[in-house]
Chain A
Amino acid sequence: MLRFAATRLVAALPVLLLVSLVSFSVMHLIPGDPAAMIAGPAATNQEIEAIRHALGLDRPFLERLAAWYWHVLQGDFGRSILLNTTVWQAIVDRLPVTFSLSVLALLMTVAVGVPAGVLAALRANTTVDAAVTAMALLGVSVPSFWLALMLIVLFAVVLEWLPTGGYVPFAESPRDWFRSLLMPSVSLALLQIGLLARITRATMLEVLQQDYVRTARAKGLPRAMVIGKHALKNVMVPVITVIGISFGLLLSGSIVIETVYSLPGIGRLLATSIFGRDYPVIQGTLLLTATMLVLLNLVVDLLYAAIDPRVRYGR
């Protein structure tokens, strides 16, 4: 298994190289640059050129690309053009926000999505199934932007239970940290719950038709054991794939949710740096996101082997 993991990590290097190359090229090819943004629309060409020179943006494309790779190999992601800090620091400052948000949203997704999907499958073609399917469809269809605002109106303005937005670090107050992340997590989780419940339901229905489930029932095993041990384990293989993808997306940051709830996370960092053409931050954030996705995929693959004894790596 270790060898498999090592091979996968080595194979990921060209992927990361390609991601960074494409993002570097695309960002530098599209019009607009940070010098013009810093100078404002009323600046003269001369003033913008002076800023470009000060920022080193007047150097040839390949020279800048080579310099960037050289520094990254030494663990230096460069300095943000707009934030007066290093790229690494900018990311590290925001990672706890996005990570906390993602983990909470994922926990809610799994805690609600999987049981809902299983329940719908066990009560297939009943009112319960219809209700779960309808709720899942609603979760997938409702725009997260609208939902987030409605939650603010209900829980912050009308009931005054939760804050309207902002982030409180865990170290400052665990209670306020949880309160600050509750509505954003619910807003994010509702979409994922819908997806997960639908996948779980479909897979569970398929598994319940399998011979080994029929055999288990025929042996007289308790229903809970048939469902919990024999069926659910097999359902989990595709479900874990979906969970892995969802977690990867959550970790990349949700621009909409972070904007509405005023959370200083990775999504907002990426959006702000794209609009301001803060090239080093865009590069660093995309590379980090790609790395996280690669690692998550690896973890998901390794989990397959843990859940399904038929899956073996390295033999």
Chain B
Amino acid sequence: MALTRREVLTGTAAATLAAGVTPAAAQRRGGELVFGQEASVPTLDMHFSTSVATRNTAMNMYEMLVTRDERNAPVADLAETWAVSSDGLTYTFPLRRGVRFHNGKEMTSADVLASWERYRRIGIQRRILAAVDRLEAPDSGTFVVRLKERQPTFLDNISAFTTPITIHPAEEKDKEGGRIEPIGTAPYRLAEFVADSHVLIRRFDDYAANTNHQETDGFAGRKQALLDSVRLRLVREPGARVAGLETGELHIVEDVPTQAAQRLRNNRDIQILPLRHWWLHAAWVNHSLPPTDNLLVRRAIQTALDMEAIMEIATDGAYDLQPGLQYPGNPYYTDAGKQYYNVNDPARARALLREAGYRDQELVIVTNSSYHSMYSAAVVVTEQLRAIGMKVRMDVFDWATAIARRRDRTTWNLWFTGQGTGPAVGPFAALIDVVSPQLNQFVPDPTLDAIYADLVSDPDEAGRKRHFARFQERVYEQVHFLKFGDLTKIQAARRTVQGFTPYRIPRFWNVSLAA
């Protein structure tokens, strides 16, 4: 019998809480924790990577000036705090004193300045610093950013961890992408990196904990490295990860298949740690290529889809259905446009196709074989659209080819994807692809562009939330994006692991191993 989503989630809530509440004072120091992760770490240069595997490792080695708290709101980390000038053009960051790099050098504003300058030069998402006019280090303990124009979302942008602005020694400033020495300020330092095998990080004994906090708060808070070391081992095969957890070779594993989670739940030595709303399953819609250049056809597709069936097959039952393009609990969450979501009305969809004058034009779906859930979702969508009389072709590629195809507007109508970190870090990056002049804007939508401009420029937070609700409604109304549902990522840990709280990226500070 398959483990249902509810069984996975409700049956383990107590275990999740139990895992996270052990007070640090009662925890044992020492030991090596082994984390089984599913993807290879391509690089440890966070300025030059969008890889989740890189984040899993490197966010325990590096820190940012401002990062995200438990609810994904900006919070100071290497900065003591921040101050914004009355005209909104100058941000001043006094730095925390006594912070040392893993090479023993004390961090100063010169290092922050150099790191930000490197990010402006080679950072993959350096567009988030486009509004920056000047970066200054007036004294060793202060960093100042002057903007060309007011940007109310500036703190959200610089604290996002999609491609984080991590702080490194100034000597790394001129290094090219991927060539940096892995030196940071976090509680763990790099000991060994064997590509395709493992990364070993050890406790940094000179780590200066942030005394402004009492406990972990997102990527900030009071961090203590209780473990001697953490070994992040690459175990690609889910069955081998689960076996490793059962034998005790691995202490924590990610991406546990739903079927295996059911078996593990009966194991008293193991706790299941579900991360709900981890990944948003969806497809981009091409407005420039027939038949999806016709709004009525797009609406017919939107109306036909049964999201429950799609997500059930795609995720093996580990999902939530909700219309938001943000995750519930995020400050900007809204259900605007819900009337367009999960309509599941094939009769109305057929009527819309007739109204659109649809005549057997081929609809091309592009999906990939690299991510099983995207492939499965595409198979179900293909069948549901065929059932309303559409002629559908499904093209399957590997991920690299699928990405290349996406840039060719003449080769696809629906492009299957998933968004994980993007929606988590806020509304400004989520769905930016449909705003001019970004990737999916094959056919500009001036109304949507105007709403987005309001969203990123309104100084009032309540106003920005209203704009985001309008933005989401417009995305649904014009069918820029077909959202299917939210995937639950299931992690599991041995009961000997204490203080591990599920988060978007595993945090190994304040985590210990019981004797």
Contact = CB atoms under 8 A, between A and B. Distances in A.
B244 A165 contact: yes
B124 interface: yes
B403 A41 contact: yes
Contact of A83 (B124, B195, B237): B195
Contacts of A156: 243, 247, 249
A82 B419 CA distance: 23
Contacts of A43: 50, 124-125, 439
Contacts of A152: 239-240, 243
Interface residues of A, number: 47
A25 interface: no
Contacts of B402: 32
Interface centre among B40, B176, B233, B406 (most CB of A within 10 A): B40
B417 interface: yes
Given A39-B124, A275-B370, A32 B243 contact: no
A54 B176 contact: yes
A260 B433 CA distance: 36
A272 B439 CA distance: 26
The number of chain B residues touching the other chain, given as a range, is 35 or more
A76 interface: no
Contacts of B236: 259, 262
B279 to A, nearest CB: 13
B194 A264 contact: yes
A297 B48 CA distance: 43
Interface in A48-102: 51, 54, 81-85, 90, 93-94
Contacts, number: 137
Contacts of A163: 247, 249
Interface stretch (B109-117, B212-220, B393-401): B393-401
A40 B419 CA distance: 11
Contact of A260 (B125, B240, B247): B240
A269 B176 CA distance: 23
Given A32-B400, A165-B240, A82 B197 contact: no
Given A31-B401, A38-B124, A269-B196, A164 B42 contact: no
Interface string B230-251: 0001111101100110110110
Contact of B233 (A166, A259, A272): A166
B179 A47 contact: no
A149 B237 contact: yes
Contacts of B403: 32, 36-37, 41
B30 interface: no
A142 interface: no
Contacts of A167: 197
Nearest to B246: A157
Given A37-B400, A83-B195, A275-B400, A261 B439 contact: no
A153 interface: yes
A269 B247 CA distance: 27
B127 interface: yes
A179 to B, nearest CB: 12
A166 B122 CA distance: 35
Contacts of B126: 47
A277 interface: yes
A42 interface: yes
A31 B246 contact: no
A81 B178 CA distance: 8
A45 B243 contact: no
Contacts of A51: 124, 177
Q: Which 4 residue pairs are nearest across A and B when measured between Cβ atoms?
A: A32-B400, A40-B50, A31-B404, A264-B197
10 contacts: A31-B397, A32-B403, A36-B407, A38-B177, A47-B124, A264-B195, A264-B234, A272-B196, A275-B400, A276-B400
